[in-house]
Amino acid sequence: MKHSKLIAGIAAICACVAAPPLSAATIPAGTSITVKTTSQISERDPKGRTFTGQVGQDVVVNGATVLKAGTAVTGKVTASRASSRPGRGSAPLSIALTSIKANGSNVAIKTDSVQPQGATTAHTAKMRSRGVTAGNILVNPGTMMQFVLSQAVTF
């Protein structure tokens, strides 16, 4: 009897040690994350420049909220006019998320690059009067954008 209680106790301890922490969560690839930008992004920013934002709405997986709205995120410019070579046309402004603040630390993530929708174009008065459509594409703080995870992330 004592032997079986000892074995049961050891088994219970091993199960507790081997179990993942209760706060661990996995967000599968293909999950959409809505982000509200907190810094300005421009097509004139160089490739690799970072920007910041916040999760715009809770991310729910299998009925459980795994990321709360307001969670901090960081991203980078993946293509821009500032990074294109003269004479080769200008690259569109594209951005992707690179990390998310989860459980007190930054966790690396990978998302597909997106071209910001709803960005404003700044024109000079002289260009507008001539009908020229060139300008500087800006993503202002507060712009809502949709990103899709290209790899699952566990935190």
| pTM attached to this predicted model | 0.74
Which pLDDT tens digit goes with each residue over 124-147?
444 444 444 456 788 999 999 999
Span 10-21, average pLDDT: 51
Q: What mean pLDDT value characterizes the chain?
A: 81
SS3 99: strand
24: pLDDT confidence band, cut at 50, 70 and 90? confident
CA distances 5 to 17, 19, 107, 108, Å, are 18, 21, 42, 44
Give the pLDDT mean for 8-32: 67
- Which of 47-51, 85-89, 142-146 comes out lowest in average pLDDT? 85-89
Phi, psi of 45 (to 5 degrees): -70, 140
CATH number of 25-154: 2.40.128.260
61, pLDDT greater than 70:
yes
| Annotated domain spans of the chain | 25-154
The DSSP code for 114 is B
**Burial (0-12, 13-18, 19+ Cβ within 10 Å), 74:** middle
So what's the pLDDT on residue 124? 46
Residue 73 has pLDDT above 60, yes or no: yes
What does the pLDDT read at residue 105? 93
Please give the Cα distance from 126 to 64 (Å, whole number): 53
Give me the pLDDT at residue 131, please. Answer: 46
pLDDT class for 97, splitting at 50, 70, 90? very high
Tell me what pLDDT residue 109 has.
Answer: 97
φ, ψ for residue 92 (rounded to 5)? -70, 160
Least confident piece of the model among 38-42, 83-87, 93-97: 83-87
For residue 22, pLDDT over 90 is answered with no
Mean pLDDT of the region 40-60: 95
Closest CA to 33 of 1, 73, 90, 4: 73
CA atoms of 54 and 85, how far apart (whole Å): 32
